[in-house]
Amino acid sequence: MAWRRVSLVGLSIGAALTLAACGGSSEAVAPPTTTTTAAPVTTTTTTVPPVTTTTTTIAPTTTTEAPTTTLVDVPYEHNESYFFTSPDGAFQCGIIKLPSRTEAGCQGSTSPVPPRPADCMVDWGHGIRVENEGEGAFMCAGGLVYTSGDAEPDPVLPAGSKLTELGYSCSTTATAVTCVNDETSHGFTVSPDSNETF
């Protein structure tokens, strides 16, 4: 009987072990649960401020300048020098290039005429000029210097016009011619009834 008891105890232990291995519990194990949570919805609203456009109208300014005479169509140039006739026809003038200098001058009758210098043996008082250096002055000449030499008279430089060449500027009125050395500001003004050197 002791044997039976040992076997019964062994059997009880084996049954207990078997039940423990099988889960021994009568409650069913619930399968794992999955929870899904929706992300909160975020709405972003961007408001762009209205664009303000300002239009400014600036009235154009108008400047009225005195009319100028263009010299494009008139050929004043001859052999690297420039020749013209005064508007009233009283003076032959030129801006000339010489081997040793350039000068601007006019020849014709004017008054008053200063006294003839002792060293002038030819024509005096019928020409006035300005050179590279010094003030304008009357000239001693044995003939016409300020002419192209063409058979036709040199073209007229219209009143109110300016001819600027070789460092000199000559401008005209109806009866006078003024020529200036652009670098020194020396020159002359000549007309039939008056003249000035500066």
Report yes or no on 72 lying in a domain: no
pLDDT tens string 103-135: 999 999 999 999 999 999 999 999 999 999 999
Report yes or no on 9 lying in a domain: no
pLDDT tens string 74-110: 689 999 999 999 999 999 999 999 999 999 999 999 9
> Helix, strand or coil for residue 87?
coil
Report yes or no on 8 lying in a domain: no
Tokens of 183: 């670098």
Report yes or no on 149 lying in a domain: yes
Percentage of the chain with pLDDT > 90?
59
Report yes or no on 93 lying in a domain: yes
Instruction: Determine the average pLDDT of the residues in 24-34.
Output: 51
Question: Which is nearest to 86 in space by CA: 177, 194, 152, 147?
Answer: 177
Report yes or no on 39 lying in a domain: no
Edge to edge, the sheet with strand 168-172 lists: 162-165, 168-172, 177-181, 187-191, 194-197
Report yes or no on 16 lying in a domain: no
pLDDT score of 75: 82
In angstroms, what CA-CA distances link 35 with 29, 30, 32, 130?
18, 15, 10, 111
Please tell me the total count of domains within the chain. 1
pLDDT score of 4: 47
Q: What is the band of 57 on the pLDDT scale with cuts at 50, 70, 90?
A: low
107 or 152: which leads in pLDDT: 107
Domain enclosing residue 188, as ranges: 77-113+124-197
